[in-house]
A and B are shown apart, each in its own frame.
Chain A
Amino acid sequence: MLQTIFPYLCYLAVLLVLAVPLGRYIKKVMFGEKTFLSPLLGPCENFIYKLSGVCKEEQMDFKKYTASVLLFSGIGFVFLFLLQLLQGFLPGNPQGIGSPSWHLAFNTTASFVTNTNWQAYSGESTLSYLTQALGLTVQNFVSAATGIAVLFALIRGFNQVKEKHLGNFWVDLTRIVVHILLPLNLVLAVALAGGGVVQNFKGAESVTLLEPVAISAEGELLSGAVIDSKTNTVTINGTQVPGATVVTREFVPMGPAASQVAIKQTGTNGGGFFGVNSAHPLENPNAFTNLLEMTSILLIPVALCFTFGEAVKNKKQGFAIFMAMFLCLVVAIGCIAVSEQSGTVQLAQNGTVNLSAVGQAGGNMEGKECRFGIAGSSTWAAYTTAASNGSVNAMHDSFTPLGGMVTMLLMQLGEVIFGGVGCGLYGMLAFAILTVFIAGLMVGRTPEFLGKKIEPYEMKWSVLVCLATPVAILAGSGIAAIVPEVAQSLNNGGAHGFSEMLYAYSSAGGNNGSAFAGFNANTVFLNLSIGIVMLFARFLPIIGTLAIAGSLAQKKKIAVTAGTLSTTNGMFVFLLIFIVLLVGALSFFPALALGPLAEFFGSIA
């Protein structure tokens, strides 16, 4: 037993050990305090202000801060959109790739500006190097930074007493990129490259296969084929296969993968350098890189919980929020791991498939890499859907019904189990506001959180922040279900086919970006609807969070007495989890019943 759960414990332990000090570091950076990197990075920061003419001391109120966020994202949106449409005429396009369709460009733009990284395109054949570097990579950094900036505006809302100021968006943005994202990713990229992830600027290479493979005339890989390398003939069970070809060389992609993978993971972006994301042996070659990449998915989101505690001068509060998220994460990992380890009734039949967890461990290995196994794949699946990352090292489509359902549910909960950098925590804080509202009523007090009274204005926006994801997913997938062409995008029929569609919209609505492989998302309707869902689920909560911050900042702080409901104890953690699960479960139980649950019960019947 211990042997089975040991890897999971290690993964979690590594994450926590790294996240706690990072949390403290982020707080110092954002409060303008001195850190060990200040002597080096401080001048860089000031240089940027000088260059861009930003006044460091300027303070923004709710309206100005929101306008700045939206303006910044808007400009990024237009720039990325045009960059794609014009890439055919721009340099940095050695392969001469033409412009993508307008709807695909829209979808990709929305996807990267919203920190989702849903990929309806396939990178190698759709986007030029220039678009990748100047468009996507830049958005990977700044969309992540925007999320953290909004979180800090909210933190200032809690801290301010009868003030209007929420900080300065440009300063926040600069500090996050210069002091947090750049150094962190530099270290990570070097470590990944050292671990074997490719990092070069060479073109793709062609190498000789150690063992040639045979392909039928239809282009399918022939298994059990015997190849006579001298005559180039292929025989199966003694009979020659007509029209079969023997492949002796292999295409090996190259490029600056390590550096891209670093920000893809730490910024909860998730858009892979290679098509199959971190399942690719050159993007994630071994257990070491897997541990690094996996940990960096949740590193900043976990650290931010501790940052929050420090920043609002209530470490217990940060810890309570962390515990609520952490417990959900542990349960999710447990559910996925158990489901994947024990496989399905069909796999277990007659003992044909090895489902043991010890020695050369087995389980439901379809769609998983042997070098990661059940533990590495299940934990990654939970991490990437808990955070709104979306990178994968295994194909979620091939998970067992219940394992796949948990990944879907984690996204449908609104990506608040750590969630995206910044946005996960502010989403959770909106849930905390809902929780204190209900709990406050139950003890006969009008609710308060961190000394701030929760009134109709805050309730209105909290509700919108919390429900943006469910509304986006339900409306998007509900409409998609009556569009005839959507059925043709499915890779499977029945309940699993429905799951593919539901997963796509859950991924978009949670700003996650992962997909049930096989779902062909590049159609006009899907590109547009998924793009709109992503934008809605990203920007409504941002506006809502800033509105709450602006209103809280202007309130006085209520004194704490014995009558005050504690928001740092086990009871609150329990209630918070309960409310998050309740909203998620009530919104998605019917949908899940028609997808993974139907599949599960169908399979055991």
Chain B
Amino acid sequence: MSTKSKSTFADRAMLGRAVRDSFLKLAPKTQAQNPVMLLVYLSAILTTVLWVASLFGIMDAPSGYTLSIAVILWFTCLFANFAEAIAEGRGKAQADALRAAKKDVDAHKIPAVDRKGEATIISSAQLKKGDLVFVKAGEQIPADGEVIEGAASVDESAITGESAPVIREAGGDRSAVTGGTTVLSDWIVVQVTSEAGESFLDKMIAMVEGAARKKTPNEIALQIFLVALSIIFILVTLSLYTYSAFSAKLAGIENPTSVTTLVALLVCLAPTTIGALLSAIGIAGMSRLNQANVLAMSGRAIEAAGDVDILMLDKTGTITLGNRQAHDLLPVDGTLPQELADAAQLSSLADETPEGRSVVVLAKEKFGLRGRTLQDKNMTFLPFTAATRMSGVDYDGHEIRKGAADSVRAYVEATGGCYSEECARIVKEIARQGGTPLVVAKDRRILGVIHLKDIIKQGVQEKFADLRKMGIKTIMITGDNPLTAAAIAAEAGVDDFLAEATPEGKLNMIRDFQAKGHLVAMTGDGTNDAPALAQADVAVAMNTGTQAAKEAGNMVDLDSSPTKLIDIVRIGKQLLMTRGSLTTFSIANDVAKYFAIIPALFMRLYPGLGALNIMGLTSPQSAVLSAIIYNALIIIALIPLALKGVRYREVPAGKLLSRNLLVYGLGGFAAPFVFVKLIDVLLTVCGLA
């Protein structure tokens, strides 16, 4: 996944492998998987047989003509194989890199957490679910598992491509480790959660290689359509043979159509363009997703992503920057601003969180208070705890506390202090504006309120507006109170929000939307997200998340980026659009091919039909040859499009449709007229026609 920059065609080795694979894929078993191309394959065999027969004097059509048709048909098969092979190429390269990470290592199996000394060394392949292994700095983690003791920095570049190490520790939401990654410092005890062959790495290899690729429902539906068209065209060509015999008999001449030409007509009419590129489009879609560092557990999930119309996004990290910043200091009850700033700064000196640091900076910038050092006074710091929901400092007999409004209120009122109306009003006002109020108290007297503000990420409003145009609603999920959430939601431009979100709340919301006929996508990392992830139609689990979350989701985001969902939707839509556009293109092509071949077939029978030869093709033979050469070359020409996907814009469905219809429908109609004529001219100039 680290080889993002290289374009597909630039890589010579990959190209060589694809060419080799194109020939290997000529095996009947492989061909049988794609009905449309199987038709071409059988046609190629048939014309080859006809050519051999012509060498022995059984003439269906002139020997050279039959040979050229046969050769072109074989090339058509090869081109289709090549398209698939080149699409698989990138995945194969990735898989090779992953396999390198997945070698057997020695695992230090221990009988229990407190008996680390009694490790037995066994091969990682022999590890069973539930086994405990001890891994220390410099060693590779032998299998997927959950950290049950210790904490360590782990290099996960083997799977994520990201070289910065990550922390993995027991308890909490960062406990999952992946086999094949390396511990850089410290040690951990890992409980194995998957056995050899079923590990994350194994799944990943299978996915990127396309081995686990099953046809998605949408792909099957499209294939049904293509097969039906092919059947119609088989009937068209078969009946054309008998019609032609019938008409020739009425006119008292010999049947003018040869089997070779009819086979050529059949291949031209069959939707070979989309048939040849169909699997390449699917593989490339998967591959694009992999490049975005997302691992889909099934192709189905990518398609579902295209249909999603509700995105549930976590506020933090997606809509706002991860950290809030102090925006203002508001004294109450006649306190001097200076006094409040001083207290606020003192209480935050030891607070290493971004919020804490921003308070220090604000006090310095606004009130010129120089940063003081811890040694200035005899200070004891009290860190923030979930129980007190306050932090603070004690010095020289003074107590400074800052924290959530209700906690500080309880703290001051416990000793008869007063929580004034003014303070309550300011707290409420800040919350209404989407900020977080931190109340500061000194010696159990409230000084004022720090206004912590969420910083909305740049460009999210535009992003959400675009999504809305496409019909996708965004829902912000946050633990904030409804007042704050509403303000941030309004500022960020999301359509709705879920405040004070609990796992059940999320689950219910998803169920509600689904009952109304919506498809919901969400991201999650913690174990408590697992039920919601399992319920969502598209569920992206963070790679940093817990094993439970990963198992509940149908995609894993290796970057653990909250905005990834938007990319996933884009890739899903692009995949479907590419299929649809190329299908339209393929079918629209047929019109021109008819105009090339029908007059060529029947000009002898009905000279008047020459009027349909609107391209003015030189001879019947050159017309047929030009049409099938075009038919083969267009596959090659469209491979880059199939791999890259058609251009995607965030516009309403109607606009998207008219644009794609214009480009691929009208384009598909016009292109063959131009290029068949061009090929005909070339053939004529070269004297081949």
Contact = CB atoms under 8 A, between A and B. Distances in A.
Contacts, number: 222
Interface stretch (A255-263, A362-370, A373-381, A592-600): A592-600
Interface of B: 217-218, 220-222, 224-225, 228-229, 231-233, 235-236, 238-240, 242-247, 249-251, 269, 303-304, 306-307, 309, 468-473, 515-519, 572-577, 579-581, 583-584, 587, 590-591, 594, 598, 601-602, 605-612, 648, 652-654, 656-658, 660-661, 664
Contact of B239 (A478, A563, A598): A478
A498 B306 contact: no
B228 A441 contact: no
B654 A585 contact: no
Interface stretch (A192-200, A245-253, A467-475): A467-475
Given A444-B648, A478-B238, A586 B590 contact: yes
Interface in A428-442: 434, 437-442
Given A562-B469, A562-B470, A601-B612, 18 more contacts: A445-B653, A446-B304, A459-B221, A460-B224, A463-B225, A471-B232, A474-B238, A565-B657, A566-B654, A569-B654, A575-B661, A586-B594, A587-B232, A594-B243, A598-B609, A600-B608, A602-B608, A603-B608
Nearest to B227: A463
A569 B581 CA distance: 20
A455 B217 contact: yes
A474 B243 CA distance: 10
24 contacts: A434-B225, A438-B583, A439-B657, A440-B576, A441-B576, A442-B577, A443-B580, A444-B573, A445-B573, A446-B576, A456-B224, A463-B224, A463-B228, A475-B239, A478-B239, A481-B243, A481-B245, A495-B606, A556-B517, A558-B518, A562-B471, A594-B247, A598-B606, A598-B609
B247 A498 contact: yes
Interface size grouping (class) on chain A: 35 or more
Given A451-B517, A563-B472, A445 B232 contact: no
B220 A456 contact: yes
Contacts of B269: 586
Interface centre among A443, A501, A559 (most CB of B within 10 A): A443
A456 B217 contact: yes
B246 A498 contact: yes
Given A442-B656, A566-B653, A571-B658, A585 B591 contact: yes
A331 to B, nearest CB: 18
A587 B269 CA distance: 10
Given A564-B471, A582-B587, A474 B235 contact: yes
B593 to A, nearest CB: 10
Contacts of B611: 601, 604-605
Interface of A: 434, 437-446, 451, 454-456, 459-460, 463-464, 467, 470-471, 474-475, 477-479, 481-482, 486-487, 490, 493-495, 497-498, 501, 556-559, 561-566, 569, 571, 575, 582-583, 585-587, 589-591, 593-594, 597-598, 600-605
A486 B238 CA distance: 18
A590 B654 contact: no
B661 to A, nearest CB: 7
A571 B472 CA distance: 22
A-B pairs, top 10 by smallest CB distance, nearest first, are: A563-B471, A441-B580, A478-B239, A444-B573, A601-B608, A561-B471, A562-B471, A442-B580, A481-B246, A481-B242
Nearest to A585: B591
Contact of A597 (B244, B573, B581, B612): B612
Given A440-B580, A585-B591, A593 B612 contact: yes
Contacts of B245: 481-482
A448 to B, nearest CB: 9
A562 B587 CA distance: 28
A563 B236 contact: no
Nearest to A441: B580
A247 to B, nearest CB: 37
Nearest to B228: A463
B232 A467 contact: yes
B223 to A, nearest CB: 9
A600 B581 CA distance: 36
A479 B591 contact: no
B366 to A, nearest CB: 45
Contacts of A593: 598, 602, 609, 612
Nearest to B244: A594
Given A477-B243, A569-B654, A444 B306 contact: yes
A564 B519 CA distance: 12
A456 B220 CA distance: 6
Contacts of B225: 434, 437, 459, 463
A391 B238 CA distance: 32
A442 B581 contact: yes
Contacts of B606: 495, 594, 598, 601-602
